[in-house]
């Protein structure tokens, strides 16, 4: 675990060495800020629901961009050989990289807390759903990070890792919006599999153990799959 | 210290390392020699637990690579070929990270990084990103990386490739100094380098060990023996083999090739006496038409060429 923490520190710092982190955070803030506030004053309601409802789609392409380099770059430069021949185990590396990506998502979300603060000045904001929304956003970010990490472990090409991760995230996000096309018997199943459905529940302020379990299982399955891929590379 | 047993590794259908077995005690420098693609790097990657063997085992002290990879990695410092270090990181940050992973205490880490910076001559590049360094400096940072925890075993894959002649001498000095106390395994395809630095040489060709011995011993073998090549136009190789086998001083008669009625022989000779007149006498007495006749004196290079021919 100690070594996973070392990997975490290196990866987290690594995000901020290159300009990518700042570009990604700027794009994220501009997109969410624009889409959220362009309708906020039309509705005239002091709540952040429409902000949270943007997140699944925006995360679907922002987070794979954050995670695409995690393994692909190492495979490509060969630094993975250095990393793995030091006394760390593949699970240490995976957990370190994963937590670094989640921490990066948290850093990316942090400035949007100011939206809540500004809204509470001009209206009566209920902080309950906002707190739930952030908890949900972190869970969503964590599961998308695990998907992105998995996609990154599959290839040494960052662009392929990005597109694979993004497709996977979009499918999960849009699955419950496409229910119209599906046969009736499969509706419940596909609705339950969609990330959008579970995220909506949490962002409404309802903390249901099923939703939490859903996101945690995505993380677990994806990290486990990453571990298998990494072991297979040997 | 290190025991390798029937180690085999396949990449898909190709066999990179084929049933290698040898043992090594602690201390000393072992040189792995071989042409490109002989399996040197693959062997080192298995020793450092980066690759898993298809079959076979390596034991380091009491640990084996299948069950205790972490303990083995703690014992080994490894410099992969061309030192692929994170290009965005500063040299100092990278060495700090390595010290962290190697569980060095904070105070110890600082002093060790300073020590290594002096030893490897990288003091002036400590605050540059690794990606901006020249190949030689990168190689030195890689060496510092490998030596960070003062490991008992140092594994270096072509440590001097890409260095200028002065740097090569420096790095060799460092390696020799380390080899006095620690166990060093290095791979190279530069023979003079192996001759100059290694106590023991293992030559690998096509995944198999073809020679293994102390450097001096191999050199002596190469120096005392020599090879005579004879080409004759004659129909019966058996008759010729028989005639040469009886000559004192010839240790081995081998048919090197035949075709178009021409037969090539390789006669391995030992001893100080020049037996060329004897051989010529036999040829003359039998009236075999002689096409070619020359002697090749042995060096490490001839041994190497001899053993790794056909690549």
Model ipTM over 0.90: no
- A2 to chain B: which residues are within 8 Å by CB? 103
Q: Can you give the pLDDT at residue B224?
A: 65
**How many angstroms separate the CA atoms of B250 and B265, rounded?**
12
Note whether B98 contacts A77, CB cutoff 8 Å: no
Q: What is the CATH number of domain B2-220?
A: 3.40.50.300
In sequence order, which ranges of B186-307 are alpha helices (DSSP H)? 191-197, 215-224, 237-245, 276-286, 300-307
- B143 to chain A: which residues are within 8 Å by CB? none
Note whether B98 contacts A85, CB cutoff 8 Å: no
**Two tokens at B163?**
């260095």
Crossing angle of helices A127-154/A113-122, nearest 10°?
Answer: 160
- A72 to chain B: which residues are within 8 Å by CB? none
What DSSP assignment string belongs to A79-123?
HHHHHHHSS--HHHHHHHHHHHHHHHHHHHHGGGHHHHHHHHHHS
pLDDT digits over B261-299, tens only? 788 888 877 776 778 888 888 888 888 888 888 877 666
CATH architecture of B225-307: 2-Layer Sandwich (3.30)
Sheet with B262-269: list strands edge to edge: B250-259, B262-269, B226-233, B290-297
CA distances (Å), B77 to each of B54, B163, B166, in order? 23, 20, 24
Q: Can you give the pLDDT at residue A138?
A: 93
Q: Enumerate the domain spans of chain B.
A: 2-220, 225-307
Evaluate if residue B303 carries a pLDDT over 90: no
pLDDT digits over B1-55, tens only? 899 999 999 988 888 998 899 888 888 899 998 888 888 999 999 999 999 999 9
Q: Can you give the pLDDT at residue B94?
A: 94
Note whether A234 contacts B85, CB cutoff 8 Å: no
Q: Are B238 and B295 in contact (CB under 8 A)?
A: no
Check CB contact of A18 with chain B, cutoff 8 Å. yes
**Two tokens at B247?**
């000559």
Q: pTM (2 decimals)?
A: 0.83
Q: Which residues contact A209 (CB under 8 A, 6 or more apart)?
A: none
Q: Are B33 and B188 in contact (CB under 8 A)?
A: yes
Q: Can you give the pLDDT at residue B48?
A: 92
How many angstroms separate the CA of residue B180 from the nearest CA in chain A? 24
**How many angstroms separate the CA atoms of B286 and B100, rounded?**
76
Domains B2-220 and B225-307 share a fold: no
Note whether A13 contacts B93, CB cutoff 8 Å: yes
Query: Tens-digit pLDDT profile for chain A (234 aa)?
Result: 688 999 999 999 989 888 888 999 999 999 999 998 888 888 777 788 888 888 999 999 999 999 999 999 999 999 999 999 999 999 999 999 999 999 999 999 999 999 889 888 888 888 888 888 898 999 999 999 999 999 999 999 999 999 999 999 999 998 877 777 777 777 778 888 888 888 888 877 778 888 899 999 999 999 999 999 998 887
pLDDT digits over B88-143, tens only? 899 999 999 999 999 888 899 999 999 999 888 889 999 999 999 988 889 889 99
Element (H, E) at A141: helix A127-154
Q: Which residue of A has its CA nearest to B148?
A: A86
Check CB contact of A19 with chain B, cutoff 8 Å. no
């Amino acid at each position: 675990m100690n070594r996973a923490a070392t990997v975490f520190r290196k990866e987290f710092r690594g995000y901020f060495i290159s300009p990518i982190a700042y570009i990604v955070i700027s794009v994220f803030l501009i997109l969410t800020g624009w889409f959220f506030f362009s309708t906020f004053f039309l509705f005239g309601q002091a709540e952040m629901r429409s902000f949270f409802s943007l997140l699944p789609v925006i995360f679907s392409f922002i987070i794979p961009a954050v995670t695409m380099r995690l393994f692909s770059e190492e495979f490509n430069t060969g630094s993975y050989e250095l990393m793995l021949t030091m006394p760390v185990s593949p699970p240490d590396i995976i957990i370190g990289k994963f937590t670094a990506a989640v921490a990066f998502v948290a850093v990316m979300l942090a400035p949007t807390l100011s939206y809540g603060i500004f809204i509470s000045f001009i209206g009566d904001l209920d902080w309950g759903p906002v707190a739930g929304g952030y908890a949900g956003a972190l869970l969503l970010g964590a599961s998308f990070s695990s998907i992105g990490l998995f996609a990154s472990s599959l290839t040494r090409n960052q662009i392929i890792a990005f597109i694979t991760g993004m497709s996977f995230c979009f499918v999960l996000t849009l699955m419950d919006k496409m229910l119209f096309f599906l046969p009736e018997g499969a509706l419940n199943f596909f609705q339950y599999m969609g990330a959008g459905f579970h995220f909506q529940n949490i962002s409404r302020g309802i903390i249901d153990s099923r939703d939490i379990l859903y996101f945690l299982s995505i993380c677990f399955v994806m990290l486990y799959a990453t571990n298998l891929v990494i072991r297979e590379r040997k | 210290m290190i025991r390798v047993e029937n180690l085999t590794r396949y990449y898909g259908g190709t066999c990179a390392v084929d049933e290698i077995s040898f043992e090594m005690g602690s201390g000393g420098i072992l040189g792995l020699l071989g042409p490109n693609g002989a399996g040197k790097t693959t062997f080192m990657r298995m020793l450092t637990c980066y690759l898993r063997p298809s079959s076979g085992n390596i034991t380091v002290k009491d640990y084996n690579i299948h069950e205790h990879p972490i303990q083995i990695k703690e014992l080994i410092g490894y410099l992969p070929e061309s030192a692929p270090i994170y290009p965005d990181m500063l040299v100092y940050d990278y060495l700090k990270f390595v010290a962290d992973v190697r569980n060095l205490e904070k105070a110890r880490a600082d002093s060790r990084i300073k020590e290594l910076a002096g030893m490897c001559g990288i003091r002036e590049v400590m605050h540059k990103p690794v990606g901006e360094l020249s190949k030689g400096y990168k190689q030195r940072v890689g060496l510092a990386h490998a030596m960070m925890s003062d490991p008992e075993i140092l594994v270096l894959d072509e440590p001097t490739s890409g260095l200028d002649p002065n740097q090569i001498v420096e790095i060799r000095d460092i390696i020799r100094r380390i080899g006095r106390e620690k166990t060093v395994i290095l791979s190279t395809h530069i023979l003079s380098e192996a001759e100059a630095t290694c106590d023991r040489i293992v030559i690998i060709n096509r995944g198999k060990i073809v020679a293994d011995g102390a450097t001096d011993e191999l050199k002596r073998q190469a120096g005392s023996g020599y090879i005579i090549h004879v080409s004759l136009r004659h129909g019966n190789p058996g008759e010729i083999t028989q005639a040469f086998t009886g000559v004192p001083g010839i240790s081995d008669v081998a048919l090197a090739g035949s075709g178009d009625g021409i037969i090539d022989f390789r006669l391995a000779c030992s001893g100080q006496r020049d037996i060329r007149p004897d051989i010529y006498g036999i040829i003359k007495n039998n009236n075999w038409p002689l096409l070619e006749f020359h002697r090749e004196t042995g060096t490490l290079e001839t041994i190497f060429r001899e053993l790794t021919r056909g690549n």
